[in-house]
């Protein structure tokens, strides 16, 4: 069974939503489930969201957790308003 391809804005929104749904911080596994694979986690979380400081990483013993930064909160609000995002992407 194939699933429709998600747009990048949709994937980012789902990652931020996941963090909110998990009580303001999500585990690495929670985010991997959103993107599908560990390589996609690396691409989306490590190479984009962490690098550009939309989220921050916290380590507790052998577990990693991720929470939104102030800039991440702003991006999340923009992603929720699809009309603004469509206008920006044009």
Q: Does residue 28 or residue 84 have the better pLDDT? A: 28
The residues that bridge with 63 in the sheet, in sequence order, are: 60
pLDDT of residue 4: 80
Residue with tokens 């980012």: 12
Question: Tell me: the pLDDT tens digits for 54-69?
Answer: 999 999 999 999 999 9
Compute how many other C-beta atoms are within 10 angstroms of the C-beta atom of residue 56. 14
Q: How far apart are CA 73 and CA 33, in angstroms?
A: 21
| Predicted confidence (pLDDT) at residue 3 exceeds the cutoff of 80 | no
| Predicted confidence (pLDDT) at residue 2 exceeds the cutoff of 80 | no
Residue 44's SS3 state is helix
The set of residues, in sequence order, having a beta carbon less than 8 Å from that of 14 and lying 6+ positions away, is 6, 34
Q: Does residue 18 or residue 84 have the better pLDDT? A: 18
pLDDT of residue 1: 59
């Amino acid at each position: 069974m194939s699933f429709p391809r998600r747009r990048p804005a949709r994937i980012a929104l789902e990652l931020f939503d996941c963090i909110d749904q998990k009580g303001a911080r999500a585990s690495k596994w929670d985010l991997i489930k959103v993107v599908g694979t560990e390589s996609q986690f690396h691409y989306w979380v490590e190479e984009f969201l962490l690098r550009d400081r939309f989220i921050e990483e916290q380590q507790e013993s052998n577990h990693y957790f991720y929470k939104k930064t102030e800039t991440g909160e702003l991006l999340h609000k923009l992603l929720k308003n699809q009309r603004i995002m469509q206008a920006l992407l044009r």
